[in-house]
Structure 1
Amino acid sequence: MTTATQAVVDVADPRWFPVDLDPVTPRFAMLRIDEAHVTGPAFMDNRLGVDFAAAVPLPLPALPALPIPSHAAWLFHTSFCCSTLLARALQAAPACMVYREPLVLRRLSDARDRGMAVAQWMAPTTRLLFRPWCDEGAVVVKPTHAALNIAADLLAATPGSRAVALLSSLDDFLVSNIKKTPETHAKVPALVERAVAAGSLRHRLAGRAIEPPSLLAAVALQWAAQRELLVDIDEGASGRLRFIDASQVLADLAGTARECLDWWGLPVDVAALRARAAVVAGVNAKQTTANYSARQREDEAAQLTRMFARELAEARAWFECEILPMIRPQALALGAD
C-alpha cells in the first residue's frame, strides 16, 4: 500500500473507492477508479483490475462524517441465482451504479465469521459505498452471497434502505453447482459451515443432518441454510426485503429489473432498460465477451440433469430425509409470490 498521505483522498468523490479494508489496523484502502471499473469486471473484489499496492491507506478514525444515504438499494442473493445478470441489467452509469460484490463487504463478512467485532465498520463502509456519481444519481450494492451473515447489519446501518433478495430452486441450485470448477467445489464445505453458523437453522440440525454424505448433499444443505438465514433477516427487517426467484429473472429480465427499481424507489427509463436488458441477456454475465442465452442455460441444465441423475437423486433423498423436516415453511416459500 502506498505511503501517500490520506489528504489526497477526497471522500466526497465516489471515484475514490474503498477497494479493500483491514479490520485489524483498522483502515480502508482507497483508490481512484473510473466507470469502467464498475461496469466492466464481473466482481469488484480482487478481480477489479487495479493496482491494490497503490492504494492510499485511510484509517477508520480519520474518515470524516458522511451523510446517511437517502436511496440505499441492496441486492442480496444466495448462490447461483442470476444476480450478476440482473445487476448488469440495472447498470446505467453514471445515473445508476451497481457495485457487484465489493471486497470490503467480503472482508467484513469474513471478520464476522471469525468472531471479530465489526459493528464500528457498518456506518462508514455503507456511507462510502452509497455516494452517488452524479446529481440525483443512485447506487445499488450487491454483496457477495457469503456476506449474508452481515446483511442485517447492513440494513440497520442504512435506515430507510430496501433490499431485493434473489434465490433459486433446489434443483437449479444443485445443477448450477455441478457446472462449477473443482476450485469452486473445494470451497463448498466452508460456505456451508458459514451459512449454517450465521442463521437459526443450526439450532435444529443434528446427527446426519450436519454430515452430508456427498458434495451435492452439502450443496443442498447450503441451499437450505441460505434460505433460512434470509428468513431470519426478513423477520428483523420490518418489510424491507422483497424476494425474487431466478426463474423470474430469466423469464423477464427487463420486467424484473423494473420491479426492483420500483421497489427501491429509483427512477426508471423504460426504453433504455429494455434495450440494455436485451443486450445483457445475450451474453455471459460474468464473461461478457461470450455469447449466452436462457435457452442455452436450459439445454445445459437438462444435459447435466441426465448425466448426473443418480447423484442428484441421492442428494435429494438425503435432503428430504435429513434437512427438509427442519426447514420452516416460509423459507421454502421464499420467491414463490
Structure 2
Amino acid sequence: MISISSLGFPLTPEWLAHRYDPDHDAFQFVVSDRAQRQSIPFLTDENMPQAREPLVASRNDIAVSAPAAPLHFIFHSAYCCSTLLVNALDQRGSASGLKEPVLLNDIVGWRHRGGQPERIGDVLDRSLTLLARPFEEGEAVIVKPSNIVNGLSAAMLSMRPDAKAILLHAPLGAFVGSIARKGMWGRLWVRELLANQLAEGMVRLGFEQRDYLLHTDLQAAAVGWLAQQALFAEIARRWPDRVRTLNSDVLTARPLETLAACRSFLDLGGTVDHQAVVADIFGRNAKDGTAFASGQREADRVDAQALHGDEIGKVTEWALAIADKAGIPMDLDGALLR
C-alpha cells in the first residue's frame, strides 16, 4: 500500500506518479486507468488532459508500507517499435505497461540542471517504487522510459537487482532512414537527443565539441544512434543474465516468437493468447491505433530510400567507419532471438 500520510489518502494503482518537482520535493499524481494507458502512445500531458489538475504530495508525506511488484524495463533507441512491444506485453493478469512516464524525464532534466547526485538517487529510487504498482495482484510492471532516460539505465538496473531489461534497437540504416522520412521535426528531435547525450557524457567517439555543429542532421542522428549502441553494448556485457537485446527487424518479422521469448525472459505470469495479441497489436499503428496495411512498414522504408537513399547510404557508411574505430558492435551480445 502507498498512501499520502498527511491526508490519510491511499494511492490506488490508478493514481499514476506523473511528475516530480525538485524545487518543492514533491510528486504529482494523476488518475489514469488501464484503458487510457493502453490507448495513448505516451504518458504525457498532451495525452492526459487530467494532468492539468494533479494531486500534489511532498516526498516525505508519501508512505510505502508494502513491497513493490516485479519491475522490468524496455530501454530503446527510438523509432524501433518499442511502444508496440509494450502494448503487446501489457495484458490483464500478466503485466501492466508504462510508456515513457514523464516522471523519469523530470529527473533527467533536474540532473542536467545540476541537481545533487545523492538527492537525485534518492528520488529515482522512490520514483521506481511509485511506478511499480500494477493494476492487479500478480502482474509485473514493465516501464519503457523515453530514450532520453537511457543515461540512467545502469543506475536503475543497479537499484533494482531483480529487474530485467530488454534493449530494443533499430538497425543503423533503418534508424537514419526513419529520421529522414520524418522531415524537419525528426531532424530537430535527433539534434535535441544529441544535446542531451552530450550533457550525459554518453558520446565518446573522438570528435571535438565544435564538430557536432558541423554535422548534417542525419550525421547527428547516426552519432546519437552510435552513442546509444555503445551504452547498450556495455549494459549487455555488465548484466548478461538480466539483459537481452532485440533488433526491431526481428520483432516485426517474428512477432509470435518474440512475444513468447519476451514473456519467458521476464517471467510473466497469466495466460495470454499470443496469436490474438499479435493479430491485434501488430496490425495497428502503435501511436494512433490506425490499421497497418500489409507490407506498410517495408513500403515506408522503400519510400525513404527513394527520396533520401544517397544521403542515408553515405551517412550509414560514415557511421560504420566511426563504429569500427570506436569498437562499437553492430550486433549486440545477449540477443533474445537469433
What does 1:267-282 correspond to in 2, within 5 Å?
267=269, 269-270=271-272, 272-282=273-283
Matched residues, number: 329
Following TM superposition, by how much is the alpha carbon of 1:181 offset from its aligned partner in structure 2, in angstroms? 4.7
User: Secondary structure in 2 aligned to 1:318?
Assistant: helix
What does 1:142-157 correspond to in 2, within 5 Å?
142-157=144-159
The corresponding residue for 2:97 is: 98
C-alpha separation between the residues in 1 aligned to 2:247 and 2:6? 43
C-alpha separation between the residues in 1 aligned to 2:103 and 2:65? 17
Once the two structures are superposed, residues 158-215 of structure 1 have per-residue CA deviations (whole angstroms, 9 ceiling, x without a partner) of 2211011100111110111122252332222221132244355426434786455311
Following TM superposition, by how much is the alpha carbon of 1:49 offset from its aligned partner in structure 2, in angstroms? 1.8
TM-score (norm 2): 0.89
C-alpha separation between the residues in 2 aligned to 1:81 and 1:63? 36
- Contact residue 165 and residue 242 of structure 1 kept, 8 A: yes
Once the two structures are superposed, residues 228-281 of structure 1 have per-residue CA deviations (whole angstroms, 9 ceiling, x without a partner) of 1222333443532110000111012232122111111112534x2320211111
The corresponding residue for 2:301 is: 301
Cα pair distance change 1:149/1:67, threshold 3 Å: farther
The corresponding residue for 2:314 is: 314
C-alpha separation between the residues in 2 aligned to 1:286 and 1:107? 22
C-alpha separation between the residues in 2 aligned to 1:209 and 1:93? 49
Q: Match of 1:233, as an amino acid?
A: I
User: Secondary structure in 1 aligned to 2:88?
Assistant: helix
Q: Match of 1:254, as an amino acid?
A: L
What is the identity percentage for the equivalent residue pairs of Structure 1 and Structure 2? 23
- Contact residue 92 and residue 136 of structure 2 kept, 8 A: no
Following TM superposition, by how much is the alpha carbon of 1:19 offset from its aligned partner in structure 2, in angstroms? 1.7
Following TM superposition, by how much is the alpha carbon of 1:285 offset from its aligned partner in structure 2, in angstroms? 0.7
Cα pair distance change 1:309/1:196, threshold 3 Å: same
Cα pair distance change 1:110/1:275, threshold 3 Å: same
- Contact residue 69 and residue 130 of structure 1 kept, 8 A: yes
Q: Match of 1:115, as an amino acid?
A: G
Cα pair distance change 1:235/1:95, threshold 3 Å: closer
C-alpha separation between the residues in 1 aligned to 2:199 and 2:233? 14
- Contact residue 20 and residue 29 of structure 1 kept, 8 A: yes
Cα pair distance change 1:5/1:121, threshold 3 Å: closer
C-alpha separation between the residues in 1 aligned to 2:262 and 2:292? 23
Q: Match of 1:333, as an amino acid?
A: D
C-alpha separation between the residues in 2 aligned to 1:86 and 1:309? 28
C-alpha separation between the residues in 2 aligned to 1:144 and 1:294? 28
C-alpha separation between the residues in 2 aligned to 1:295 and 1:203? 36
User: Secondary structure in 2 aligned to 1:69?
Assistant: coil
- Contact residue 166 and residue 246 of structure 1 kept, 8 A: yes
Structure 2: where are the runs of 5+ without partners? none
Please give the root-mean-square deviation of Cα atoms over the aligned residues, in Å: 2.4
The corresponding residue for 1:226 is: 228
- Contact residue 152 and residue 236 of structure 1 kept, 8 A: no
- Contact residue 96 and residue 140 of structure 2 kept, 8 A: yes
What does 1:148-227 correspond to in 2, within 5 Å?
148-198=150-200, 201-202=203-204, 204-206=206-208, 210-227=212-229
TM-score (norm 1): 0.89
Following TM superposition, by how much is the alpha carbon of 1:110 offset from its aligned partner in structure 2, in angstroms? 2.0
The corresponding residue for 1:47 is: 46
Cα pair distance change 1:237/1:108, threshold 3 Å: farther
Corresponding residue to 2:331 among 330, 333, 336: 333
Which has the larger displacement, 299-308 or 184-193? 184-193
* Structure 1 runs of 4+ with >4 Å offset: none
User: Secondary structure in 1 aligned to 2:106?
Assistant: helix
Cα pair distance change 1:28/1:83, threshold 3 Å: same
Cα pair distance change 1:224/1:209, threshold 3 Å: farther
C-alpha separation between the residues in 2 aligned to 1:200 and 1:242? 21
C-alpha separation between the residues in 2 aligned to 1:127 and 1:54? 23
Cα pair distance change 1:185/1:52, threshold 3 Å: same
Cα pair distance change 1:313/1:238, threshold 3 Å: closer
Which has the larger displacement, 221-230 or 294-303? 294-303
Q: Match of 1:222, as an amino acid?
A: G
The corresponding residue for 2:10 is: 10
C-alpha separation between the residues in 1 aligned to 2:201 and 2:298? 32
C-alpha separation between the residues in 1 aligned to 2:283 and 2:214? 37
Q: Match of 1:332, as an amino acid?
A: M
The corresponding residue for 2:68 is: 69
Which has the larger displacement, 175-184 or 156-165? 175-184
Structure 1: where are the runs of 5+ without partners? none
